[in-house]
Every structure is written in structure tokens, then in C-alpha cells.
Amino acid sequence: MYNKDNVFYKILNSELSAKVIYENDCALAFYDINPRKKIHALVITRGLYTNFSDFVSQASPQEVKDFFDTVAKVADILGVSQTGYRILSNIGSDSGQEVEHFHVHILGGEKLSVSL
Ligand code: 5GP
């Protein structure tokens, strides 16, 4: 069950500011407030989904495609498409998911260790 009391909902609704990288009809991309790598961006859906499982089961195929196309576009904008990057999405409590609004992390700008 989606709970609107989360920081990404507030960013989507301009109640909280974020350093925006790119936005379109389906997604909003901005820098993580606490970067763990030289480049650490987040891409969130405009639709209200709690996590990846919720997104792929509830969103239309077009929305899923548009979202992941947007992730790739943001990687281009960040300049990591050629050098390489990692996408990561935490799902649920064992993963340590902090914000219960579906998002993908884009990590790059440096060599990434095999371990997460
Ligand atoms: P999760 O653990 O849910 O996959 O990751 C949530 C991410 O959101 C964390 O990396 C955290 O640093 C980031 N974050 C939490 N609050 C804010 C915020 O208010 N603004 C931004 N830009 N990032 C946030």
C-alpha cells in the first residue's frame, strides 16, 4: 500500500527541493542527497508505486518501458553510458529500502567494486 508520507512524494510535488537532472511525463531524476559514489543519481516514477515489484505488476508495459528508457537517458546525460555504471533498486526491508516510492539508483563516475 503506497503511503504518501515519504520524501520522494514531497519532491514530486515540489514540497521538498532536489537537484533535478532530468524530468519527463513518467519520471523525475535528481542527485542523491547522500552520494555513495562520485555519481549517484535517483530516478523515480511519477506514478505512485512502493517498489520495483509493485511497479512491474501494476504499471502498463508502456510505462515500464518509458521508465527504463528514461533511466538510460539519464545515464547518457550524466556521461556514464560509455564508462559504465550500475543501476540498483532496493525492495523491502531486507534490502534496506529507505524510501517507499519506487526508484532506481544510478551509480558511477568511478570503478565500482563487485560487492554492493
Ligand atoms: P533506498 O534505500 O530507499 O533505496 O534509497 C533512498 C535514497 O534516497 C538514499 O540513497 C538517500 O540518500 C536518498 N534520499 C533520502 N532522502 C532524500 C532527500 O530528501 N533528497 C534526496 N535528493 N535524496 C534523498
For a mutational test of ligand 1's pocket, the pick from 33, 40, 90, 93, i.e. the residue with the most ligand atoms closer than 8 A to its C-beta, is 33
CB 69 near ligand 1, within 6 Å: no
Predicted confidence at residue 114, as pLDDT, reads 81
Q: Which amino acid is at 46?
A: R
* Domain of residue 29, CATH code: 3.30.428.10
What digits encode the pLDDT tens for the residues 67-114?
999 999 999 999 999 999 999 999 999 999 999 999 999 999 999 998
How many other C-beta atoms are found inside a 10 Å radius of the C-beta of residue 14?
A: 8
Query: Which residue range is the domain that position 24 belongs to?
Result: 7-108
* 1 domain-assigned: no
Mind telling me the catalytic residues?
A: 103
Q: Structurally, how many domains does the chain consist of?
A: 1
* 113 domain-assigned: no
Q: Contacts by 1-9 with C-beta closer than 8 Å and gap 24+?
A: 1/50, 2/48, 2/49, 2/50, 2/54, 2/100, 2/101, 3/50, 3/100, 4/48, 6/99, 6/100, 6/101, 7/99, 8/42, 8/44, 8/99, 8/101, 8/103, 9/48, 9/101
CB 39 near ligand 1, within 6 Å: no
CB 32 near ligand 1, within 6 Å: yes
* 53 domain-assigned: yes
* 2 domain-assigned: no
What digits encode the pLDDT tens for the residues 20-53?
999 999 999 999 999 999 999 999 999 999 999 9
Q: Is the pTM of this model over 0.85?
A: yes
* 116 domain-assigned: no
